[in-house]
Amino acid sequence: MNIIEIDQKYHLQVYKRFPVVFVKGESVFLYDENGNEYLDFLAGIGVNALGQRYPEVVRAIKEGADELLHISNLYYTPSQALLAKELVEATGLARVFFVNSGSEANELALKAARRYGMQKGRFEFIALKNAFHGRTMGALSVTGREKYKRGYKPLINGITFVPPNDIQAFKDAITSETAAVIMETIQGEGGMTVMKEEFVKEVREITQEKDILLIVDEIQTGMGRTGRIFSYFHYGIEPDIVTVAKALGGGLPIGATVMSEKVAGVMDFGAHGSTFGGNPLITKVALKVLQVINEPQFLESVEEKGEYFRTRLEEAVGGFDIVNEIRGKGLMVGVELKETVARDVADEMFKKRILIGVSGDYTLRFLPPLIVEKEHIDMVVETLKKVL
């Protein structure tokens, strides 16, 4: 049996995989078993912000492996404390806890928000339709797409979903029991819908007024993806809780829940924990990733390349009958089609050895490594033009 056959026999078949086995990667390219080269414009669904084998990340992994692999959270870890400091400074919030994935980061965000809210007897959450916040029971409960929840109900109760960018629906959803609102500023899984500035600002004003917490899920949009270190910087707001994962670990699994002092205040000894969360190796690597990305020049280059990408797409395919809209921020770019053929287009791009994603049935999703060059963008745009 070859690798694909072994996987299909023994692994849970919950992913509709592309028929390829990758064995090597370098920068923005991946290589299959036969040495074929693929240009990667999905970056491990937004994880490989620095591409494959970024030299400083590889060095940090090797050094970390030589030093200390695991000690548990019963003891202090230098890289964990230093990463905590840098993440707190980068977000403008007060405290952080490290977990192992995006879902877990949201799980803690919901737990902390509920604890905070329960001081006033508030336990409900408002989330957005089409949102994606993860697969654990709590994160799934605030995920606004039914297809992910089929067969898993009852999930946690007290959750109201409102359409993105609909401030009236948001106001109508608030009750005296509302503890928190959770949202992505660009819905990564749910159609690449970009939140409007007025909507986000008004949500923040109302929540602040009513002492309702605002949780911003930066798992896909964060770590420089949109041209700012976190996407809420585009909106001039400060959330109460920010969740981070994906790109933070440079390819290793880590999540982080960053919170304001008032939220942190309800999380006392024993309120939460994690065996692997913030372990020495991963936090050492994440510290390096954060330092590389959180540089003004690096972030400006993301913004500039993102603008170039969207302009080139507009010129090349914007006028096509099948294209509805090209949208996004920085290097988080969506092309919405008028028909439900997004996966077919991704399959055709794959045959031409370019990896892209989809977001719902209508929308193509581009999340290239942030170190991508304009010549790679040109290759993708030209190929997409032919495929469409």
Q: Rounded distance, CA 304 to CA 5, Å?
A: 43
Site string for ligand PLP, 106-125 (x = CB under 6 A): x-------------------
Q: How many CB atoms lie within 10 A of CB 5?
A: 9
> CB-wise, 184 or 240, nearer to ligand PLP?
184
Name the closest residue to ligand PLP (Cβ). Answer: 102
**d(C-alpha 327, C-alpha 306), whole Å:** 10
Answer yes or no whether residue 141 interacts with ligand PLP by CB under 6 A.
Answer: no
CA–CA gap between residue 207 and residue 62 (Å, rounded): 45
- Asked if 240 is part of the footprint of ligand PLP (rule: CB under 6 A), the reply reads no
Which residue stretch of 27-35, 126-134, 330-338, 372-380 sits at the interface with ligand PLP (rule: CB under 6 A)?
A: 126-134
Q: Closest distance between ligand PLP and the C-beta of residue 186, in Å?
A: 9
Among 114, 115, 122, 133, binds ligand PLP (CB under 6 A): 133
102 binds ligand PLP (CB under 6 A): yes
Element at 22 (helix H, strand E): strand 22-26
Report how far apart, in Å, the C-alpha atoms of 92 and of each of 84, 136, 373 are.
Answer: 12, 28, 31
> ω into residue 154 within 30 of 0, thus cis?
yes
CB of 188 or CB of 227, closer to ligand PLP = 188
CA–CA separation, 279 and 47 (whole Å): 19
Nearer to ligand PLP, 102 or 306 (CB): 102
| Whether 122 contacts 177, CB under 8 Å | yes
The rounded distance, in Å, linking the Cα atoms of 35 and 60 is: 27
Q: Which of residues 354-383 bind ligand PLP (CB under 6 A)?
A: none
**Separation between Cα atoms, residue 324 and residue 337, nearest integer Å:** 5
Query: Would you say 133 or 310 has its CB closer to ligand PLP?
Result: 133
Terminus-to-terminus CA distance in the chain, angstroms?
36
Q: Which stretch binds ligand PLP (CB under 6 A): 6-14, 97-105, 296-304, 354-362?
A: 97-105
Letters for 212-231 (x = contact with ligand PLP by CB under 6 A, - = none) are: -----x-xx-----------
Residue 187: CB minimum distance to ligand PLP, A: 8
Does position 40 interact with ligand PLP (CB under 6 A)? The reply is no
103 binds ligand PLP (CB under 6 A): yes
Number of residues that bind ligand PLP (CB under 6 A): 15
Please give the DSSP secondary-structure letter assigned to residue 231.
Answer: G
Question: If we measure between CA atoms, which residue out of 230, 187, 197 comes closest to residue 328?
Answer: 187
Where on the chain is the footprint of ligand PLP (CB under 6 A)? Answer: 45, 101-103, 106, 132-134, 184, 188-189, 217, 219-220, 245
